[in-house]
Amino acid sequence: MSKSRAIFVATVFVAVCAFTSLGQDSKTARQPASPSAGPREAQAGREFSGMYSFLKEGEFVQITVEDEGRVTGFVSRYGEGASDKGAFLDQFFLSGKLDGVKLTFTTETVHAVWFEFKGTVERGEGKNPADEAYYVLKGALTDNTSDAAKKVTTHSQEVMFKRFPEDAPPAPSPRN
């Protein structure tokens, strides 16, 4: 290959790489700022993922917002039945969905008890994302209990679950 031809091929290669990179940057810059619009919708709500208080001291609900608003997680709580009094029980979500700020989830049944939550994720009193109650879950929690005869008793109450503080990111190490 001649020297001029090699320079031409190298120049075309560099130009294609630069143009491709420039095109990707401009696509990113043109994406809508709204977190619920377009391709970024899959990312919306992930900031709500975390651990929140539950009904009693020491109990919590863990939520993880995944693609397309799918929510996974679990409730960790103390048992209240005769066979599980005081035992720590984990109840994973059977279903969960985040639509904008509207959150719903239903847990699996453990020892004849399951929970349904319908509410919203809101900004709480925390000033920074690492503060307690930066986000809160507000809504109706329904506690369902099935007896030996399969009769279901439901109890619904308005709740507000505060997000636990996040660990602060590590401080950057000093440069020498």
33 neighbors 40 (Cβ within 8 angstroms): no
Domain ranges of the chain: 41-162
Q: Classify domain 41-162 by CATH number.
A: 2.40.128.30
Q: 102-141, pLDDT tens digit by residue?
A: 999 999 999 999 999 999 999 999 999 899 999 999 999 9
Interatomic CA distance for residues 100 and 155, integer angstroms? 27
pLDDT along the chain (176 residues), means of 10: 48 44 43 44 81 97 96 96 89 98 97 96 94 97 94 97 78 54
d(CA 141, CA 153): 14
